[in-house]
Structure 1
Amino acid sequence: MSFNDLPNECLCMILDKIFELEELIKLSKVCSKWSSLISLRYRKIKYLLIKSNDDRFDLTKILMNDPKTIKDHNLRELLPNLRILSIPAVLFGDELEFEDVKKLVDDNPKIKGLIRLYSLNSDLFHLLNLENIEMISVKSLEFDYKKVFRPDQLKQIRLYETFITELPQYVEYFPSLKRLNISLLLKGGERIYKGPNLSNLKILELYLSEYEGNFHLFHFMDFCPSLESTFIRSPSKGEYIDISLKNYNLRDLVIEMSWGERLNWSFFCDLLSKFPNLHHLAIRGSGEINDDRIEELVTILPEIKLLDFRGSKNVTEKSADILFEYCLRSHRSIEIYYNRKEEPFDWPKLNTPQDSIVYGLDFMKHCFYKYFCDLPDLIDE
């Protein structure tokens, strides 16, 4: 039996396993039947990744291995439902011309997100028509972003290199942000954030990637009153918090420490007391968390449902036993993950496959069980 003798349903199942755009284009030229079926497949594609390192693909994603495909094909017609475009920086000026990307973006008003346009000269951003863009992942906002974006336009930003001093002006200009992922640079002195609130922010992911001095990452959370999920990487020494301010919306909190860093226990208890409705807590890399402190920890958090201490070496099976006895006495249900040689198969895995784009604004699904470096660039709502 030849492929053409197969029912359409079977052919579609086969074609759905192909995730390279160039391969689909070649197969669409086999005959009119294949062309028609692949056209249906094209309509399912929302995300175009050029020479990506993503670990997995599904029907919403397609990989482009040859950047010249942008020049050779009308991708607006080929991929009518394209929403996010990811382009690695190394391609510009070599395999990919700016004019080709400009044509793709300018001609496609359905594109809502751009990823990894790192090597674009600041002057080139002004040449792109970005009036429909709502999500962006870039190295920094060194270009004149006020001429490129409207204040209410962006809902999501990921920045890989931003000085602390620039943060207040970004917050002031983009009040509609729902998710902010930012790696901060600090040089000299102690910094307490004194800018405006991010009143609409739901997800905050902060990394103090390079610093000389202190910037108080947890204090910045007080300026995000609607915050529901937070990922903090490498808090600085001597963190400051205002324990009089509570956040009743925060449900998910991940704190990831660098090698050799320690999280002061007294400070940690004060911090957690600010989040009385916290449901999910993950601490990775801190030696201050140990078996003897588990019961004290859960009494601070009356609504906690899940503790993930994998990566904190002093939390062992003893913690699980202590927690089990506590839950029996207090009639609570709390799950705990800790370090062990063989994890139960039903535990969610850390180091899940890297996805630069994920679907659905779900922090627990896409971010909680990752390390900061593996967080998605954009989350498509």
Structure 2
Amino acid sequence: MSLNDLPDNCLLKILRNVHEAKDLIRLSKVCSRWSDLITPRFKRVKYLRFVAGKVDYIDGDSLRINHDTDWKDYNLIEFFPNLKIIEVSSYYCIYIRPDIFIQIISNPNVKGLIGLFSFIRDYNYNLENIEMCVGKFDFDYKRVFRPNQLKQIRCFDFNMKYLPSFIGYFPNLKRLNIEFDKADQAFYNFCNVLYNGPSLSSLKILELGSNGFVGKFTGFHFMDFCPSLESAFISCWAYDIHVDESIKNYNLRDLVIDNVESGSFSWPILKRVLSKFPNLHHLAMRNIDQLDDSNLEELIKLLRKLKILDLRGFKKETQKSADLLFKYCVKENRSIAIYYDCENEPVEWPKLVYYYCGPICYGFDFMKHCFYKKFSCLPDLIDE
């Protein structure tokens, strides 16, 4: 019996067991019928990602390619017309071939770049359709991007003295993720000098992280310039925290504070921070060791709309503390999910993620993709 004698559903099951990209392209050229069965898989591909030392293959919504693969005989845009986000360089610092990049970047559907942009400084690529970007931004971004062009940025080792002009150039950001290096003296200076630049009126998600001690952390002051902010992830090593509790943000719903064992979040400081966000629904506190049970009860009284309190990584939280909070919630007729460190964690609790899950998440949902992760595990881009 010939394969063509099989009904479509049987032939489709056979073709679904083929994952190697070039094999599928060749099979799609056998006849129009085979093309009709294979083409929907091509159209589902939205992300171009890297694999090291493997053949190129299709994995759900991703095309995973090896840097050394020669694609000169294949038009990737022709076969994968819905590519939306591409890796210019991968997590393993494997760089995309320039010929592949030039071929793909001409597609107006491509909206996101993940990479270090080392070669963009030297070539005049047309990136007019790009809205989401990951890199060091140690190049002349004003030559590469138009004002207001980017809606989502993740940047590393950013020189904070340029932050006001950076924000002024990209005022329509919806998500901003900045990670600072401990050797970045500019960040240290920024943390001791209050931000006084343009507002980010469209920003919904802010993620600030540092991997070294700083003096006075002023990230909460920077949040005062983000009036529409709904979710924030703060990971800082700081000796002091600057807080102006007179300025409120009534839109913030989700907040993660990871103090990375520096010990600067005493209850008076934390109380002032939380008082800025009266409508907070979800709060995670990790590596904070200066609070006791009475402080936690006061915290719940302060945040009247709190629904989730994640205390895993909170050093003094015990089963006894959780029981006390639970009894208080019953007494006050409040329903708050309280998570804490324990030997036999209930299976229904959302798990904390301590490993890198990949550069792209689908759906602009902070609680789903960010709240239960370490800062280093946050996605590079969130595809809306």
Conserved 8 A contact 2:215-2:240: no
Counterpart position of 1:378: 381
How many Å separate the matches in 1 of 2:315 and 2:23?
A: 47
Paired position in structure 2 for 1:175: 171
Measured at CA, do residues 216 and 14 of structure 1 come closer, stay the same or move farther in structure 2, by a change above 3 Å?
farther
AA partner of residue 363 (structure 1): F
Match of 2:119 in 1: 120
Contact 1:45 1:59 in 2 (8 A): yes
| CA displacement at 1:26 relative to structure 2 | 5.4
How far apart, CA to CA, are the structure 2 residues paired with 1:280 and 1:239?
21
CA contact (8 A) 1:122 1:143 kept: yes
The 2-side partners of 1:321 and 1:290 are apart by 14
- Equivalent residue, structure 2, for 1:304: 306
What do residues 271-296 of structure 1 show as CA deviations (whole Å, max 9, x unaligned)? 00110000000111111244443211
Match of 1:273 in 2: 275
**Cα deviation, residue 219, structure 1:** 1.3
**Is 2:124 the partner of 1:132?**
no
Aligned equivalents of 1:240, 1:78: Cα separation in 2:
53
Contact 1:70/1:104 (<8 A) preserved:
no
Unpaired runs of 5+ residues, structure 1, are: none
Separation of aligned partners in 1, 2:118 and 2:348: 42
SS in 1 for 2:157: strand
| Shift of residue 233, structure 1, vs aligned partner | 0.8
Cα distance in 1, alignment partners of residues 367 and 179 from structure 2: 21
Q: Retained in 2: the 8 A contact 1:192–1:216?
A: yes
Shift of 1:71: 3.0
Residue 60 of structure 2 aligns to a residue whose secondary structure is coil
Secondary structure of residue in 1 paired with 2:72 = helix
Q: 1:361 aligns with which of 352, 361, 364?
A: 364
Residues in 2 aligned to 1:289 and 1:160: alpha-carbon distance in whole angstroms:
32
Encode CA deviations 1:311-349: one digit per residue, 9 max, x unaligned: 123112223211221112111110011001121111111
Contact 1:216-1:235 at 8 Å conserved across structures? no
Q: TM-score, normalised by structure 2?
A: 0.88
Q: Give aligned-pair identity as a percent.
A: 50
Measured against aligned partners, the alpha-carbon deviations of 1:194-228 in whole angstroms (never above 9, x if no partner) come to 11111110000001234654341111111101000
Partner of 1:195: 197
* Distance of aligned partners of 1:5 and 1:334 in 2 relative to their CA distance in 1, 3 Å threshold: farther
Higher RCO (CA < 8 A, seq sep 6+): 1
Answer yes or no: is 1:162 the counterpart of 2:150.
no
Q: Which residue of 2 aligns with 1:322?
A: 324
For residues 116-145 of structure 1, give each alpha carbon's deviation from its aligned partner in whole angstroms, at most 9, with x where no partner exists.
Answer: 144335223xx1111011111112x22221
Instruction: Give the direction of change, closer, same or farther, for the CA distance of 1:318–1:73 in structure 2 (3 Å limit).
Output: same
1:7 is displaced (CA, Å) by 4.7
Q: How does 1:1-381 map to 2 (within 5 A)?
A: 7-9=7-9, 12=12, 21-22=21-22, 24-25=24-25, 27-28=27-28, 33-51=33-51, 59-88=60-89, 90-92=93-95, 96-105=96-105, 107-120=106-119, 122-124=121-123, 127-139=124-136, 141-185=137-181, 186-187=184-185, 189=189, 190-210=192-212, 213-351=215-353, 354-381=357-384
How far off its partner does 1:67 sit? 4.5
The RMSD of aligned alpha carbons is 2.6
Deviation at 1:31, TM superposition (A): 6.3
Q: State the secondary structure of the residue aligned to 2:288.
A: coil
Query: Matches of 2:16 and 2:292 in 1, distance apart?
Result: 48
Residue by residue, what CA displacement relative to the aligned partner does 1:231-274 show, whole Å, maximum 9, x if unpaired? Answer: 01115221111110000000000011224544222100110011
Measured at CA, do residues 372 and 4 of structure 1 come closer, stay the same or move farther in structure 2, by a change above 3 Å? farther
- Using a 3 Å threshold, how does the CA distance of structure 1 residues 119 and 4 change in structure 2: closer, same or farther? farther
* Greater shift in the superposed pair: 67-76 or 314-323: 67-76
Structure 2: any 5+ residue segments left out of the alignment? none
Cα offset, 1:72, TM superposition: 3.4
CA distance in 2, matches of 1:129, 1:342: 54
Quick check: 250-259 or 5-14, which moved more? 5-14
Q: How far is the alpha carbon of 1:24 from its aligned partner?
A: 3.4
Contact 1:204 1:229 in 2 (8 A): yes
Amino acid at match of 1:40: P
Cα drift, residue 36 of structure 1: 3.0
CA separation in 2, counterparts of 1:100 and 1:88?
12
Residues in 1 aligned to 2:254 and 2:77: alpha-carbon distance in whole angstroms: 39
Query: What letter corresponds to residue 86 of structure 2 in structure 1?
Result: L
In the aligned structure 1, how far is the partner of 2:17 from the partner of 2:47? Answer: 16
Aligned residues: 371
1:68 is displaced (CA, Å) by 2.7
Amino acid at match of 2:315: K
- Alpha-carbon distance between aligned partners in 2 of 1:325 and 1:142, rounded to the nearest angstrom: 53
